[in-house]
Structure 1
């Protein structure tokens, strides 16, 4: 498994000057071929594109982007202050949107035309050849998998049935924190949050918390750490402006090392998933051969294996099940942990805001029991804290890309077929045209009379779970996990900076939107020891 340093190095492309001469020649030869084919046979209109950087001949803005160490920050910077910006990378137009109005135009009014996804090296690996729902292009396979998830896996009925499972994992997480506190350990918030997210996903998918024995204080063992780290490696490479995504002929160069990272990461995930899935499949085959009808499904894997087509045959292949389980891991593991780490940092830094959140918890829940999911509708300020953290600190710079299925016109601009459309999470959430003092953490801005507070944002003034046909179906689950994590952490424990540190550092990581360093803080029980020690 690659460590964080190796992963970071993969995102540090140097200037083309440092490339071997044959590679430079190949880049220009490939670009020239695409350029000539585009002009000889393409039907793209020349005028009316949204404004953007003047593209270089043939390669567009690909080389200027690659000269910058962090590609997405270059794109965000070039698009900053504009409602819409058009880039050309190789032969691909990429449109970045920073406006709520234009976002609604793309993904509400003209959603049907922008409901596809691009084909990329990373998503080919993460979806095992596009047999899943999140990153697959528009088509019958996407429709099939979407029906399965919407009807049988991530619907409201299933979420209600899994309340007990999630509560068990939240209790386990709270008890784990208490044991670390009792042992005098500093809490690495990022570490414990990712541990919780991994537990919930493993329990929901496979009915297991650990792949082996676990670790100290009932925490993660080496297997669980490797499992979650691999998931984050996949997320780091997905839609990362890899050159071969715009010039596929360059894929064999593996410029930046992304393909090697994806190959290793997905192999690691399947290393843990496949034995469980194979063993369960044999059980289901045995039941079917004996004519036994299993009525109760225990987890997502059972659901997938139990589904039948119109002929009574298994609806999903093992390849589809395998890839979809992995994709659910990637889709759910990051948002709750990212949001709560930033939210807790802000609450520690703003004692008055923390006081308001605690007053609400004490009024609604009290101190004689722990907050439960059933309490959440009565905790708008807690929800507002998570929403504000997500607004300022999105988990990724852009929403997952959409691709134009046909030519379109948006806000008077021509959007050619095949254009990749990126809604900027940073451009919306930190937009001074939309939010007063956009970089100030102020949960009260989300509290309006009679308005329900949720992470989801239907008007797209910020981006949470997307919109339209490609909206994230795991949004309700992710929201519940986020609310419960922050609620338990601040209700059950008092948080403070380590000795010798008086201020919280809000520096961002150079390569991502995570904190520059994991939040490491001190905690002590706020509730009765008897209540926490028995978890």
Structure 2
């Protein structure tokens, strides 16, 4: 055999190539393995089985508890809620990652027994998991119910109800000032805001005008209040499923009854006879949400909305609109007035602005709101400090994803701590102070439409609240009308209590009691009422 001098060299080169390839393979495997293990920090303090639930069940609101955890563990960390893992985000950049890059992956909602019972097996589109049904209902609502055109068409109802409620305040002042021998009378404003928003929402949804202390109104108000409360109730079996058969707390039967009661009310509205009368009330009835939904669904097939019959969809969507527009708006009005009373200079600026752009000879119209820039800043600052849902509505990942550089497994729940995020000192100077001026200067370009991630009271991305235009018009008109027409004072020289309560909605813990008196001529309180 002839000796080939290049043979050893060839073998050596081949071996070297194989060795280098092997080293690259090992290194890549190590990097991949390391990447797979890159998980967000988990908050300490978890107990066996229940995880961190014991930390969230005290008197301190959950968003504050989680905010304190963020101070220790950073702007992104995980907690255990029984068998579930939840990712807590308290940073605007990471929130942007959630609602842009990972928007679709995180677009679903976690399932819960309370929600299942109260929403007719997830028929309410705000709580339903991501999928065809959610897409179809949201599309219908955005096009037929909450479009800009239809929201503007409903302006007459908002204006009418605000003026009627203003007249009720004036009448109460006239009646009480004699018995109380004072020009200022005491009013519980959170109750007034709640009644006003109930009147607006019921009239817009059903075309009905609920009379004061009417039996139907009293029943409906009680059912809705109980429904909203139960949506925020802690149900043990949602986190420890094997306890479901015990119904710890006895909530399930109450939930089923409230669901039936609310269903009966909407069923009654659906079955009310329609006439061809051209009266204002009948025209409003034909434009009511419930009848718009009926008309829209008449041309749709059952396959267009998989899993639910049309009656269920109509009632569930009306229910969704009611709970989305009722407490969220009334609690924001309560916070806004509380903050203004604690900051009388700001209240004076709002009043002067209204006098300048509207005057004292006519009531505020919705068309005036766009000119009231300081009032707009007050509303933004209120929503920054006290977002109605401080932990947003929970999301759930539909597949593995990466958030903030961390690997997040499928099925993880997402809690965006809006309260903590919107008080970030790196973004907001004096973050705990009520300073509407910031939205006229340093933060004047920030809006509430979900594109500025440092301020997301209405959420962002696919699951953003679709009623933002309706909500902002209701807030602006109500607050401007009240401030224009009344002198408003605190009941004492002490600051208004601004403690927050625990619950689904971020309510003020104590009632908002205010002393008020008219500041315009008497004929102004009967305009359009």
Q: With the length of structure 2 as denominator, give the TM-score of the two structures.
A: 0.82
Match 1:249 to one of 242, 245, 248: 242
Paired residue secondary structure (1:111): coil
1:129-528 matches, cutoff 5 A: 129-184=121-176, 185-210=185-210, 213-215=211-213, 221=214, 223-238=216-231, 242-280=235-273, 297-307=286-296, 308-309=298-299, 317-448=310-441, 451=444, 454-498=447-491, 501-512=492-503, 513-528=506-521
**Would the alpha carbon gap of residues 418 and 449 (structure 1) be closer, same or farther in structure 2, given more than 3 Å must change?**
closer
Return the alpha-carbon distance in structure 1 between the equivalents of residues 355 and 56 of structure 2. Answer: 52
CA deviation vs aligned residue, 1:406-425 (integer Å, no higher than 9, x gap): 10011210111011001112
Q: Name 2:29's counterpart in structure 1.
A: none
Q: How many residues align?
A: 472
Paired residue secondary structure (1:521): strand
Deviation, 1:439, is: 1.6
**Would the alpha carbon gap of residues 225 and 389 (structure 1) be closer, same or farther in structure 2, given more than 3 Å must change?**
farther
Deviation, 1:533, is: 3.4
CA deviation vs aligned residue, 1:247-270 (integer Å, no higher than 9, x gap): 233223333444355334434433
CA deviation vs aligned residue, 1:207-234 (integer Å, no higher than 9, x gap): 1121xx423xxxxx45434433433433
2:448 and 2:455 in contact (8 A); partners too: no
Return the alpha-carbon distance in structure 2 between the equivalents of residues 111 and 272 of structure 1. Answer: 36
CA deviation vs aligned residue, 1:248-293 (integer Å, no higher than 9, x gap): 332233334443553344344334322122335xx59x9xxxxxxx
Deviation, 1:87, is: 0.8
Return the alpha-carbon distance in structure 1 between the equivalents of residues 333 and 301 of structure 2. Answer: 46
Paired residue secondary structure (2:364): coil
CA deviation vs aligned residue, 1:131-176 (integer Å, no higher than 9, x gap): 2210000111111211110111111111121111221112112111
User: Greater shift after overlay, 231-240 or 317-326?
Assistant: 231-240
Deviation, 1:428, is: 1.4
CA deviation vs aligned residue, 1:458-496 (integer Å, no higher than 9, x gap): 212132111111011011101111111111110110101
- Whether 1:118 aligns to 2:110 is yes
Q: With the length of structure 1 as denominator, give the TM-score of the two structures.
A: 0.81
Structure 1 segments unaligned to the other structure (5+ residues): 1-44, 216-220, 287-293
User: Greater shift after overlay, 267-276 or 115-124?
Assistant: 267-276
Paired residue secondary structure (1:516): coil
1:372 and 1:484 in contact (8 A); partners too: yes
Paired residue secondary structure (1:440): coil
1:401 and 1:421 in contact (8 A); partners too: yes
Paired residue secondary structure (1:113): coil
Q: Name 1:14's counterpart in structure 2.
A: none
CA deviation vs aligned residue, 1:488-534 (integer Å, no higher than 9, x gap): 11011010123xx2223324144343222111111111111111135
2:99 and 2:461 in contact (8 A); partners too: yes
| RMSD, aligned CA | 2.8
- Whether 1:47 aligns to 2:40 is no
Deviation, 1:46, is: 7.2
Q: Name 2:179's counterpart in structure 1.
A: none
2:207 and 2:285 in contact (8 A); partners too: no
Return the alpha-carbon distance in structure 2 between the equivalents of residues 192 and 353 of structure 1. Answer: 22
Match 1:87 to one of 73, 79, 84: 79
**Would the alpha carbon gap of residues 409 and 239 (structure 1) be closer, same or farther in structure 2, given more than 3 Å must change?**
farther
1:456 and 1:464 in contact (8 A); partners too: no
Return the alpha-carbon distance in structure 2 between the equivalents of residues 239 and 92 of structure 1. Answer: 18
Match 1:59 to one of 29, 32, 49: 49
Return the alpha-carbon distance in structure 1 between the equivalents of residues 303 and 76 of structure 2. Answer: 48
CA deviation vs aligned residue, 1:94-145 (integer Å, no higher than 9, x gap): 0111000010100122101111001112221332111221000011111121
Deviation, 1:341, is: 1.0
Larger CA Rg, structure 1 vs 2: 2
Return the alpha-carbon distance in structure 2 between the equivalents of residues 363 and 138 of structure 1. Answer: 48
User: Greater shift after overlay, 108-117 or 164-173?
Assistant: 164-173
Deviation, 1:56, is: 5.1
**Would the alpha carbon gap of residues 63 and 204 (structure 1) be closer, same or farther in structure 2, given more than 3 Å must change?**
closer
Return the alpha-carbon distance in structure 2 between the equivalents of residues 176 and 239 of structure 1. Answer: 32
2:109 and 2:395 in contact (8 A); partners too: yes
Higher RCO (CA-CA < 8 Å; seq separation 6+): 2
Q: Name 1:290's counterpart in structure 2.
A: none
Q: Name 1:3's counterpart in structure 2.
A: none
